A and B are shown apart, each in its own frame.
Chain A
């Protein structure tokens, strides 16, 4: 099966600009997660979708971040306006709706805000 696809793989934007990251989960996976790793820090949870609904968005850093998952398929994560501290690697993962199952992660989008 195809894996989790994220694009772009890299993005360099200026402070104040807008960037949209996209994640295509594995087909049939209702759970979709966004995570972020800021340089030197641990991988942090951002939010969790079950189909098109936000199940948990407790990890979203602030209201400059907006995640959507229209139709319960692919998801986008928009950062507007981007700040320097938003730089990092953003990972998306998907899983089936079973608690014990593993996640499949994408390769991530490396975002650099200059």
Chain B
């Protein structure tokens, strides 16, 4: 699986939007971009995924660069419950398992 690069940590104020970046310059044409998050003392939680087009769901939005070499997870209004480690993961061809990196630790300040 191609690797991703994320900042180690980010901080946001409560009720403000958060943009979590991810670089994946070696992405292949068939790689899906997945985002997961892990809240304290819980298992990872699926957030969103996409291939080429931007995606929206109830949790977040995913903005994918036109060249697909980077993407941004957008939380429209951060809450204290959004404090977690966010993982950007590329999932390659076939039924290959997710490979987790270090992720970005998001802190939300009240």
Contact = CB atoms under 8 A, between A and B. Distances in A.
Interface residues of A, number: 24
B95 A91 contact: no
- B interface, over-half SS: loop
B2 interface: no
Contact of B95 (A55, A93, A104, A105): A55
Interface stretch (A43-51, A61-69, A70-78, A79-87): A43-51
B29 interface: no
Given A56-B97, A97-B95, A105 B34 contact: no
A42 interface: yes
- Specify which of A33, A102, A107 lies most central, judged by the most chain B CB atoms within 10 Å of its CB: A102
Contacts of B38: 43
Interface of B: 32, 34, 36, 38, 41-46, 49, 51, 91, 93-102
